[in-house]
Amino acid sequence: MTNAFQTSIEVRFGDCDPAGIVYYPTLYHYCHVAFEEAWGGALGVRYADLCQRDRIGFPTVHVETDFRHPARYGDALDFTVWVSRVGATSVVFEFAASAGRIEVLRSSHTKVCTDLDTLTKRAIPDAIRARLEALDGTR
């Protein structure tokens, strides 16, 4: 995936359940961490700045996930992030995570562009749309 963003997240002791594997809601947190890092690393604006300065957010409204293998304390999860669809007000971010050669998850998150002052959906601004479209992992 030539235009996809990649980052690594290390599994911490407190991220694991009593069985010694990463508790599945923590994997969603990791997806969000990778999402925020993709904004700064590939989309040219820190997500915190987008939220705090520009008052635009992209909350998740739909998720589809396949959990393929457990992750454990000490694993370095390599995340690949890309955009599969950009609509008028929504965008679909895709996540793939692996621990070495073992695929841990694939997850698709539909996010809606939101005015953070009114908490209503809004059109994706053209400058942001162009950046999102450039994060297309199929190119």
Please report, for the chain, how many H helices and E strands are present, in that order.
Answer: 3, 8
- For residue 134, what is the DSSP state? H
Identify the band that residue 3 occupies on the pLDDT scale cut at 50, 70 and 90. confident
What is the pLDDT averaged over residues 57-64?
98
Lowest mean pLDDT among 61-65, 66-70, 90-94, 131-135: 131-135
pLDDT digits (tens, 9 = 90+) for 21-44: 999 999 999 999 999 999 999 889
Sequence-ordered alpha helix ranges (H) in 43-137: 47-52, 126-134
Identify the band that residue 139 occupies on the pLDDT scale cut at 50, 70 and 90. very low
